[in-house]
Amino acid sequence: MLTFALSKGRLAEMTMRRFAETGLDCGEMQKPSRKLVFTNEAQQTRFFLAKPSDVPTYVEHGAADLGVAGKDTLLEEQRDLYEVYDFKFGCCKMIVAYAARGGDSPLKDLPSSLRVATKYPDIAANYFHERGVTAEIIKLNGSVELAPLVGLADVIVDITETGSTIKENGLVIFDEIMPLSARLIVNRVSMKLKYERITELIQKLKKKT
């Protein structure tokens, strides 16, 4: 049995479509149901949905053999697992932005200290540390764009797909930290014990790319 942890939401829908192209049937997940785990006995596969930030945890600890999560989540969580395939969907970018209120940017000449609001404290801290900036990281779970508008933070580190939400809220992108997309991850022990099935799936995915 191969067990898959998928990120809830649009990423799961895109993943299921890609898996279907390889012959993996996870159509039961798309039907209305209160079930938490979906099993296909014929194909010896099992699927469940999890909060995106939890997917690497399930995979690292072996509750799932494989998972699909965004590169941003993997960088922030830093779990001990294999990252084996880039789906090249769910694409967006990690950016640094500030409120355009007139006057100089708070990032002009990279000052010695900044208040930074973000859902990704480790990524943000590493970014500013590499640039010699002491950053006070403020962890938020909701709309990060609000923070500089109400004076909670000088800048934000967040993800954006098109940049339209950033602009609509009067923010200016200062830097693009990295491009992001959905990745297939594998538990280290599962890769050894179920090597043939996992590598077969990876090869099928690559042929469909």
Would you say 208 and 13 are in contact if contact means Cβ atoms under 8 Å apart?
A: no
Which distant-in-sequence residues (6+ apart) come within 8 Å of 74 by Cβ?
56, 83, 183, 185
* Topology (CATH level 3) of domain 2-90+181-208: D-Maltodextrin-Binding Protein; domain 2 (3.40.190)
Instruction: Name the helix (H) or strand (E) containing 6.
Output: strand 2-7
Q: Tell me which of 3.40.190.10, 3.20.10.10, 3.90.1150.170, 3.90.550.10 is the CATH number of domain 92-178.
A: 3.40.190.10
Domain ranges of the chain: 2-90+181-208, 92-178
Would you say 15 and 68 are in contact if contact means Cβ atoms under 8 Å apart?
A: yes
Q: pLDDT per position in the chain (209 positions), as tens?
A: 999 999 988 999 999 999 999 999 877 777 777 788 999 899 999 999 999 999 999 999 999 999 999 999 999 999 999 999 999 999 999 999 998 865 567 676 666 789 999 999 999 999 999 988 999 999 999 999 999 999 999 999 999 988 888 988 889 999 999 999 999 999 999 999 999 999 999 999 998 76
C-alpha separations of 10 from 132, 139, 160 in Å: 37, 24, 15
For the full predicted model, state whether its pTM sits above 0.85. Answer: yes
